[in-house]
Structure 1
């Protein structure tokens, strides 16, 4: 009999698996590079770790995605729900970390296309201890489980959802009408964000009008 699928249970299995098998997947000077550690952890999970864990649920994992894809890995559960997984690693010894999650337009389109689509963030926190990676925590959450108090919107393209500070993650798994409420809050935040961006553009246009005037008079 297959186990009942749970993102929380999977996250704890991932943490155990990493601690037992992946503390030395990066060595030497590369340990000081968050990018090197992040790439190594992602490769390990794609090639072995997540596949081993999800096989106990009868789930196959796909990891052949391009650099511009929103997911690093993906899978479907027994009910046909699709999980697009974005892997993030976070060095707890860094004072400030503000990772991008996803474009607001890409997320809105993904969720509008099919209610069974889920965009998930797999965040693995670690420290470097005695020339090894010490895995401290693992969160595997749908993006709508992230409380808006720990998120922000960055001015890239249509807008980019970001974690305001990876050292301060706040989750809200019990929100009533979770996805609907979360997406409506996103729309409210974008309305305010776009108003601020329009105001900034107006200020820039005014400033460059003075530059034009300067050069026309010169």
Structure 2
């Protein structure tokens, strides 16, 4: 990439993280007794708050802001900056007292196509929170492009072409200003290991169901 985002290759993104945290913690209680223990309800509420406030958060950094996307779209929020970079933002929430959480981030094939254009950034906005009674207290915000996430904290799940996942939301490892080229090459190398393993699993399943078929063919009606 000859030119890089000023947001992520400076300290601006860290300032945005702080602004997001302050906006979320400045909201009136948005949970109830019936929703406080529902991660989906918390996630939806946080996303709605950000959708309303994100244009103010990015202020003069962003143009053409949008928060209207289909449920299965790559982005929850999106904007362009004055330098022509396009950011799609995937909002993730994580309750810190949960033992294990492995959220999907995006399809490997979808990301590969999206990153054919160097001006595109797929951004993870991860909100870590704790719950006190019916109040969600935001403790940490990450606002980083996916290539700033180390492969030490990522994995690939067997869905479609493969889904990039955070292996454990309690264990995030960042590489600030990481090289997209190196990260994408590592993605390819990981897939070169992942796909043969999946083929092996599929072959085992085929053999198993051949036995199942033989078993049922011997049965009488």
Q: Do these two structures clear the TM 0.5 threshold for a shared fold by scoring above it?
A: yes
2:164 aligned residue (161, 164, 177): 161
Who is 1:201 aligned against?
202
Residue in 2 aligned with 1:66?
70
Whether the 8 Å CA contact 1:51–1:60 is kept in 2: the answer is no
Cα displacement (A) at 1:9 = 1.3
Matched residue SS, 2:216: helix
Equivalent residue of 2:102, what SS?
coil
Contact 1:65 1:72 in 2 (8 A): yes
- CA shift in 2, pair 1:202/1:58, >3 Å: closer
Shift of 1:7: 1.8
After TM superposition, the runs of 4+ consecutive aligned structure 1 residues lying more than 4 A away are none
Structure-2 residue corresponding to 1:14: 20
Query: Hey, what does 1:55 align to over in structure 2?
Result: 59
Contact 1:124–1:137 (Cα < 8 Å) also in 2: yes
2:97 maps to which of 93, 96, 99:
93
* Of 109, 116, 120, the match for 2:113: 109
Tell whether 2:50 aligns with 1:45: yes
Q: Aligned residue pairs: how many?
A: 210
Unmatched segments (≥5 aa) in structure 1: none
State the distance in 1 between where 2:215 and 2:61 align: 69
Under a length normalisation based on structure 2, what TM-score does the superposition of the two structures give?
0.91
1:35 is matched with which residue?
A: 40
Higher helix share: 1
TM-score (norm 1): 0.92
- Give 1:27 shift: 2.1
Secondary structure at the aligned position of 1:41 is classed as: helix
Post-superposition Cα deviations, 1:182-201, rounded to whole Å, max 9, x if no partner, equal: 00100011111100000011
User: What SS does the aligned partner of 1:8 have?
Assistant: helix
Deviation at 1:32, TM superposition (A): 1.1
